[in-house]
Amino acid sequence: MTGRRRLAAVALAACLLGALTGCPTPVDRAPEPSATPTAGDALPARPTGASVDLPAYAGPPPGAPPSRGPLRTVVAAVNLTPATPGVFARTAAAVAAPGGRAYVVLTPSDRRLPQSLVTVDATGAITAVVPMPRVDDVWGMHVLGDGTVAVTGQLTSGGTTGYGVEVADPSSGALRATVAVPAETGTVSALGTSALGGSTLYLFLSTGTADGGSERLLALDVPTGRVLADRDLAGDVGAASLQPAGRQLGGLVPRPGGGVTLVFDAAPTEEVTARIPTLLAFDARLDPAGEPVRATDLSEGAEIQAVAGTADGTVFLLVEVDEGTWVLAIPDGGGAGPLLGQFQERIYNYALVVEPAQEWALLPHPEGVLSRDLRTGDVAGPLRFRCGPRLDVQDLQPGADGFGAVAIGECDDPREDTQMLWLLGP
């Protein structure tokens, strides 16, 4: 760890996630890049120092919407069992919708059965359930401008199996599917993620075959399913990492002017476990928008655990280090900056939501969720779901208006492995 970040770590070491009410975070400058890597020699050389030559995160941007404060209310706790009577189905993904609603994809354990797209209203009532062909390994779920829902991942359409998107009407069940990339013969692994920017859906795909594999970034016009751009990422990823991005994928965040930022742990040396959280930005045509941005120095030993984005393109990271978990932020077009917070909790650092005001962040907690002030390090909560004896919060997603959040998970009440959705508010 660099000297300046070490000072921040000492000051924040007592801030245990969920154990204390919080402590202030000192304002520290970005770390200096190391002259030489300390976790293996770069062979061939890849940069290993943090990107400190770009503008650093300086806090919430001018004109950001006002904060509504930490989330303190469980608006609704929804038992999803009635959506699939007589069939056990697990929650694959959820997304918030306008008006306080949410949509959920349920996947039956019986693979012969289709998935279900479930509509939950603002009161927590299940108002519609429509079948949809299976999307294996759901990458993402997005609400489109016309009220339909896009689900990305591996799917089959017209006899073709591959990777793309299913768009479903949650009321009528009308569906259209687009296989953007047909599966190659001999594919042994496929990883992906997606992001929505306006009417453009961005897909990142990393596949492995006996001969090697490939990584691609695609832009799809959602209304027509037409592929607008398709970029081979071998050169872009190779400029920062000796390993594919998909093996250490963090996420995909839309940029305000179009395009996306791909976030992953780069391996710049032959020591594959030595990694640097790295950002690759692309414009609306999928042309590179600058050089790879390294959020940390190699010697800090950081690995991405969760990624969140805000409307101005700022990427927020939860990264695990020896001392616990750090909160970092990289502005669109910017570089490495100050440590926004540190906590020792490692088990519950796998999901993150940041409000539009960029003041409060939401993370999982053993009893529900916890809000954290990104300016001071103060902690509010936990917001308890009162779900026992065992609770498993699996994912968090932001509210449709940017405020509030939805959470999915499992609860042993009223029965073991009950699939749950929670609607959360200020």
Instruction: Tell me how far apart the alpha carbons of residues 150 and 143 are, in angstroms, rounded to a whole number.
Output: 6
Q: pTM to 2 decimals?
A: 0.89
Q: What's the CA dihedral at 405, 248, 329, 362 to 10 degrees?
A: 20
For residue 286, the one-letter residue type is: L
423: CB partners within 8 A, 6+ apart: 74, 75, 76, 78, 100, 102, 120, 122, 124, 404, 406
Instruction: Tell me how far apart the alpha carbons of residues 194 and 141 are, in angstroms, rounded to a whole number.
Output: 8
Give me the domain span that covers residue 242: 3-425
Task: Give pLDDT, residue 347.
Answer: 79
Query: Structurally, how many domains does the chain consist of?
Result: 1
Instruction: Tell me how far apart the alpha carbons of residues 26 and 340 are, in angstroms, rounded to a whole number.
Output: 8
Instruction: Tell me how far apart the alpha carbons of residues 265 and 282 are, in angstroms, rounded to a whole number.
Output: 17
Weakly modelled stretches of the chain, pLDDT under 70 = 1-45, 402
Task: Give pLDDT, residue 253.
Answer: 98
pLDDT digits (tens, 9 = 90+) for 318-350: 999 988 999 999 999 999 999 998 888 777 889
The CATH number given to whatever domain includes residue 128 is 2.130.10.10
Task: Give pLDDT, residue 190.
Answer: 94
112: CB partners within 8 A, 6+ apart: none
Task: Give pLDDT, residue 44.
Answer: 64
